[in-house]
Chains A and B, each alone.
Chain A
Amino acid sequence: MSATSPAEARESAGPIISHQVAAPEGKPRGEFLFFALRSKKFMLSVVILAVLAVVAIFGPIIDSTDPVAQNGLPMQQPTLDPGNWFGTTYFGEDVFAQFANGLRASFFVGFLGGGLAAVIGMTVGFVAGYRGGWVDEALNMITNVFLVIPTLAVLLVITSYLQARGVMFEAVFIGATSWPWAARAIRAQTFSLRSREFIDLAKLSGRGSRQIIVSEIASNMSSYLLLTFILLFGGAILIAASLDFIGLGPTGGISLGLMMYNAVTWAALQLGIWWWFIPPGVGIMATVGALYVMNVGLDEIFNPKLRTM
């Protein structure tokens, strides 16, 4: 996706269309809603994420069982009785409580990790793209270093030193290592925006670099930044689940990846305890999948060239 210049959009749309026809109002906000409500991809993904969010927020309140308390009878099949919606694990833990709390943890890691990666990526990308010159070279070098670092190996080394790790650590680690592609992409966009004449005009109005980056460049890329954040968010959840699954996740608490790790360790598949690993698997798939589909939907909404009429 690229920030198309109005001139290009005009030329491709023909001389008449973009001047006289837009969505009903001339305002970008109204236009966004207009197309958003019509986009199947966007609406579907919003619905899925909304359902998951409700489970994550209210689930642990409705079912306030401690997810790691081995209170119930082991390996119970799910029923419709309250407190047993998803059955119990090998150890008698409430699977639904685990699922709901795990969703919460996943969203938290995704938000924090993705958010941190977004902040770093944006800062590096904007500064490198706008300044150019040796600043750009230096930041590029740093970006390349981070790209090349084998994050798994680094994590293994760190875990051997840190015996107790929390969700916060995982989020920060993911945030600190998954930003390079975002920085690259934002830098490229900034480069192309930087040579536009309204940037020159802002300089001629006496604006400083930082002001220009925020008020002219970032604002013009706002849809792209949103999409980047969504991708980082989804990516962080996926990475966290993968790390948890191989045992490199937080040492306490519960998460979707950890549920699957336990399920595999305790032979849930062979024992037929499908309700232990299917919910977390579907949960991860649904969350990440919905986020990516939302991304595609938003891309279509924001970029008139991708819309089919």
Chain B
Amino acid sequence: MSLQVTDLRVYYRTLAGDVKALDGATFGIADKEIMGLAGESGCGKSTLGNSLIRLDGRMKYVAGSVNLDGTDLPIWDSDEMVHYRYMEVSVVPQYAMSAMNPTRKIGKMVSELVESRGVSYKEIRPEFERRIDLVGLRRDVTDRYPIELSGGMKQRMVMVISTLMDPSLLITDEITSALDVSTQRAVAETLVSFRDHGFVKSMMVITHDMSILYQIADSILVMYAGKLAEKATTEVIIGRPLHPYTRMLVSSLPEVGVRYADKKLTGIPGGPPSLLHPPTGCRFRARCPLAFAKCEQEPPFVEVEPGHWAACWKATGSDA
């Protein structure tokens, strides 16, 4: 396995207590696999993505291990992680478009970045330019300031910069959300081309938009309220989901071709639980139409069939 995460728990420190944003994640991503991480806001997907690369001041590492290509990543030690950040694990964070230093030309910014990692910009420049060509930008973009580029161009630029060192794992956080539909497609397809060209070994694509994942992801991991709900290949998650949350989520998405007059879609009533004092047992219990007595015990995230994990008593067939 390229990436193996075991029982990862990361909480947020707040004045009112610990917010259990990520409460036990166990999964793996294979080489050449693009895994989508889906869920609604507050489910912990951004926390999971961030914790693999950098824990910021409010995040507290509680338990669990992250193993990348056979090495355990010391995610709790920010200084130790410097060796791995950008070289082995790289991230395209949310709002990356706005994160480029507006007072620096892009070429200068990249040279400062790679030099700080001990890599000579001169040596890497030909490869850098090759990749700029690949994403459909002009080479003179290195002489421009970020403000001169459009949203889609900036997003693609950031993607090139983040993968320049051929990291083993790339994490992208909502990189298509703020873009127009036509640019979204271009950016998503660029992501796939990076994997196909071998610039990155595996990818974790974090988004709330399941339909983008259907287009580009090999597998999807669905999270709910800090816990993992279901993981399987894309076809299975969209076509034959087992977890009630996944099912209700997929069936609540409008699509071109589906009209209210013909088939009224339903949402999921209620809202996600508080993560400050999460409920015992299955966290989806309060909103689940299939909830029964056993749901008071938290269901484990188990492999119900080869390559398909789910955390639900009904899914595992233990609903005697």
Contact = CB atoms under 8 A, between A and B. Distances in A.
Nearest to A22: B16
A19 B12 CA distance: 13
A309 B15 contact: yes
B276 interface: yes
Contacts of A309: 13-15, 58
A16 B42 CA distance: 5
A218 to B, nearest CB: 29
Tell me if A's interface is mostly helix, strand, loop or mixed.
Answer: loop
A15 B59 CA distance: 13
Interface in A86-145: none
25 contacts: A11-B95, A14-B21, A14-B47, A14-B58, A15-B41, A15-B42, A16-B12, A16-B19, A16-B21, A17-B14, A17-B19, A17-B58, A19-B42, A20-B19, A21-B15, A21-B16, A21-B17, A21-B19, A21-B276, A22-B16, A23-B15, A24-B16, A309-B14, A309-B15, A309-B58
B38 to A, nearest CB: 14
Interface string A5-27: 00000010011110111111000
Interface of A: 11, 14-17, 19-24, 309
Closest 9 CB pairs of A and B: A21-B14, A21-B16, A15-B41, A15-B42, A20-B276, A16-B19, A20-B274, A16-B42, A16-B21
B275 interface: yes
Contacts, number: 37
A237 to B, nearest CB: 36
Interface string B200-232: 000000000000000000000000000000000
Nearest to B14: A21
A26 to B, nearest CB: 12
Interface in B76-99: 95
A309 B276 CA distance: 17
Contacts of B41: 15
B234 interface: no
B46 A15 contact: yes
Interface string B1-41: 00000000000111111010100000000000000000001
Residue of B14, B21, B41, B47 contacting most chain A CB atoms (<10 Å): B14
Q: How large is the interface on B (under 10, 10 to 19, 20 to 34, 35 or more residues)?
A: 10 to 19
Nearest to A14: B12
A24 B13 CA distance: 15
B58 A16 contact: no
Contacts of A16: 12, 19, 21, 42, 275
Contacts of B13: 309
Nearest to B275: A16
A20 to B, nearest CB: 5
Nearest to A13: B58
Given A14-B58, A15-B41, A15-B42, A20 B275 contact: yes
A282 B15 CA distance: 39
B120 to A, nearest CB: 36
Given A20-B274, A20-B276, 13 more contacts: A14-B46, A15-B41, A15-B46, A16-B21, A16-B275, A19-B42, A21-B276, A22-B16, A23-B15, A24-B16, A309-B13, A309-B14, A309-B58
A141 to B, nearest CB: 30
A211 B58 CA distance: 41
Contacts of A15: 41-42, 46
A23 B46 CA distance: 24
A110 B196 CA distance: 70
A303 B134 CA distance: 45
A16 B47 CA distance: 10
Contacts of B12: 14, 16-17
